[in-house]
Amino acid sequence: MVETQLIPRGIKDTRVLDAMRRVPRHLFVGEPIQFKAYDDMALPISEEQTISQPYMVAIMTELLELKGGEKVLEIGTGSGYQAAILAELSQEVFTAERIPVLAKIAEERFSALGYTNIHVRASDGTLGWPEESPFDRILITAGSPKIPQPLIEQLSDQEGIIVAPVGDRFSQQLIILKKSNGSLSEQFHTPCMFVPLIGKHGWGGNKDF
């Protein structure tokens, strides 16, 4: 996966490449599709959600420019795979998932794999995780019409970075938002396709919360 998908497409951060070599991706999908876990595609998990394509995980992680000491917030735990990659590369990861059963399964995976620096909760991640803010990095792994305002507010002023797929319900583009001494700058990156971010500051349909 690393040699045939990630390096040829330009992923250069050796820490990201090493983390993706280490984390057993097949343990984040159901047994019947484990043989496809390292293929070049997103795969279904339960509750009509997906685990992102390996390249998408790699590029989003690289764009976060993790050095090792960061406090990271992820919105959209899903399978937990992306959170595990983040946990390999930062100090502490907080990950929010709106579907409680997915949060529970991911939590079981983290403890089975021995991760002690990942905190999971079932909540509407568009509201962020105010008690733990500010965050050095925030990653949204579901497609959103805009970056939720609470997340911008919970981002550190000191070289904080948010990476998020922003667009309509069916196609988005990765946005990199940087905050430095209170001023914001935005850059557009790769086109992508994510399941929708559903919540108060995302798409409608937040009946669960």
Active site residues: 52
Token digits for 136? 């050095």
Residue position matching structure tokens 């009946």: 207
Q: Which is nearer to ligand SAH, 125 or 160 (CB)?
A: 125
Q: Which is nearer to ligand SAH, 5 or 141 (CB)?
A: 141
Helices 81-89/54-63 angle, 10° precision: 40
Q: How many residues bind ligand SAH (CB under 6 A)?
A: 25
Q: Which is nearer to ligand SAH, 82 or 154 (CB)?
A: 82
Compute CA 107 distance to the chain's CA centroid, rounded to the nearest angstrom.
15
Minimum distance from residue 185 beta carbon to ligand SAH (Å): 25
Confirm or reject binding of residue 61 to ligand SAH (CB under 6 A).
Answer: no
Confirm or reject binding of residue 76 to ligand SAH (CB under 6 A).
Answer: yes
Among 151, 174, 175, 197, binds ligand SAH (CB under 6 A): 197
Query: CB count, 10 Å around CB of 4?
Result: 10
Among 82, 90, 154, 172, binds ligand SAH (CB under 6 A): 82
Confirm or reject binding of residue 151 to ligand SAH (CB under 6 A).
Answer: no
Sheet with 118-122, strands from edge to edge, namely 118-122, 92-97, 71-75, 137-140, 160-167, 172-180, 183-192
What is the β-pairing status of strands 43-44 and 172-180?
Answer: unpaired
Confirm or reject binding of residue 54 to ligand SAH (CB under 6 A).
Answer: no
Residues 6+ apart with CB under 8 A from 9: 55, 59
H or E stretch covering 22: helix 14-22
Residue position matching structure tokens 């991706």: 25
Among 72, 96, 151, 166, binds ligand SAH (CB under 6 A): 96
- Give the integer Cα–Cα distance in Å for 131 and 134: 9
Contact stretch for ligand SAH (CB under 6 A) within 2-10, 97-105, 110-118, 172-180: 97-105
Confirm or reject binding of residue 195 to ligand SAH (CB under 6 A).
Answer: yes
Q: Which is nearer to ligand SAH, 167 or 199 (CB)?
A: 199
Binding site for ligand SAH (CB under 6 A): 49-52, 75-76, 78-79, 81-82, 96-99, 102, 124-126, 141-142, 195, 197-199, 202
